[in-house]
Amino acid sequence: MRVYKAVDYNDLSRKAANIISAQIIMKPDAVLGMATGSSPIGTYKQLVEWYKKGDLDFSEIKTINLDEYMGIGPENEQSYHFYMRTNLFDHVNIKPENTFIPDGLEEDGEKECARYDEVINSCGGIDLQLLGIGGNGHIGFNEPGTSFGKTTHQVALSESTIEANSRFFSSIDEVPKYAYSMGIKNIMQAKNILLIASGINKAEALQKAFFGPITPAVPASILQLHNNVTIVADEDALSAAKW
């Protein structure tokens, strides 16, 4: 495990983008696992900036997103399809057919989860998986108590996750209660993992994940068993433990 301390969010975003850029340059047809939420926005912005300068080429890159809300379509402004287009895809030369996100409108959960697992397998697995971490230790939408052996599955979001995500919606009542999420087994099969965290509200989660016991009660704790994890976090997020 490698830990890079960032001075602030902008520094964090630049450091994370450097790691992703290196993967793209070393393997132009890499498969990148993508995350959403507030944490990666600066990272994506930096990648777009470097692409526009001619430093990066996404033409052969494939992306596989961690998750998507159930019950909302790709044109909904709160969907992760829309998020990825707005923050990255529409600004670089990635081919739409090489971007993969769960179908939130598919009502047959078993069918969609099997399809998404096959997407991951058909791409040859994930070279670099970008992760954030929830305040309760979740990664993707794998909430506390989720089996470490799960692959893509339907998730009932916890109250704390719904409350945290309500900042993106007009009211908490509009936040979807269910999602499709890549499972912890999928995440752990990635060749490299890059976890980013910013702010004091992530400090306890990081401390429990990397200095506490490995337990489904803290889903991110399983990352202690992965042989190639990089953490990029600011001083506040790293403040609860001696790194």
The predicted-structure confidence for 26-82, as pLDDT tens digits, reads as follows: 999 999 999 999 999 999 999 999 999 999 999 999 999 999 999 999 999 999 999
DSSP assignments along 81-149, one per residue = HHHHHHHTGGGS---GGGEE---TT---HHHHHHHHHHHHHHTTS-SEEEE---TTS-BTTB-TT--TT
Cβ-contact 41, 221 below 8 angstroms = no
Q: Residue 174 — very low, low, confident or very high, per pLDDT cuts 50/70/90?
A: confident
What are the tens digits of pLDDT across the range 12-31? 999 999 999 999 999 999 99
Q: Is the pLDDT score of 91 beyond 90?
A: yes
Catalytic residue positions, numbered: 67, 136, 138, 143
pLDDT > 70: percent of the chain: 100
pLDDT value at 167 more than 90 = no
Task: Encode pLDDT of 152-166 as tens digits.
Answer: 999 998 888 888 888
Domains, the chain: 2-199+212-229 (3.40.50.1360)
Better-predicted residue by pLDDT, 58 or 169: 58
Q: What is the pLDDT of residue 89?
A: 98
In whole angstroms, how far apart are CA 163 and each of 11, 60, 177? Answer: 27, 37, 11
